Amino acid sequence: MSETIQVTINQSVAILVDGNNIEMSLHSRHKDENVMLNFDSLIPSLLDNRQLNRLVYFREGKSISKKLTERLHNNFHGSTVACHKSADIPLAIKATQLAKKVDTIIIMSGDSDYVELVRHLKGEGVRVEICSVEETTASILRDEADYSHTITKEDCFWGRTTKSPRTTSKNPRTTRKKVSQKK
């Protein structure tokens, strides 16, 4: 007789996003600067029925899109941090501050600069997961993490100025050709 066992996962998760790293990785992979991360579908997938404690989006530069800031706040009570230079140091500081308050920290970046942070957090007893674009993720970072999530095309959307590669036709009969007109 087979008995189904239900396991309840009670983990508190912090998600820390290196915005510049993720944006550059997506732009590089898709060869399109209008591709953006769809947080509305990605975050619930990353949480996988675990509790979200914090979501912080770090980005180099003086300002971050108000629309993104509002969306992260309204949907996930998240916050954004504009960093003076790179997001590496502010993200690492926030991660060490949260280490005693959460069970898992998900770092959204593929940057090998985070390897020592991952080692430190694991030494503190925190589960560390990486979420990144596979092609631009340092293998040493993936190897050090407890788990690695891959950002796929389904986790993205394209701005209105360009069409998604999913909707672009490769069929020569349906592709428009520019016709030159002679005067």
**Confidence band for 110, pLDDT divided at 50, 70 and 90:** very high
Mean pLDDT of 55-59: 95
Question: In this predicted model, what pLDDT tens digit does every residue of 116-163 receive, in sequence order?
Answer: 999 999 999 999 999 999 999 999 999 999 999 999 888 887 775 544
The token pair that represents 65 in the structure block: 């899109």
Question: In this predicted model, what pLDDT tens digit does every residue of 83-106 receive, in sequence order?
Answer: 988 899 999 999 999 999 999 999
Confidence (pLDDT) at 62? 73
Q: Is 3 left (phi over 0), alpha (psi -120 to 50) or beta?
A: beta
Confidence (pLDDT) at 154? 87
Sign of the CA dihedral running 156, 28, 117, 59: negative
Say which residue, 183 or 15, is predicted with more confidence: 15
Which domains are seen in the chain, by residue range?
12-158 (3.40.50.1010)
**Which of 179, 108, 166 has the alpha carbon at shortest distance from 141?**
108
Whole-model pTM over 0.75:
yes
Confidence (pLDDT) at 54? 96
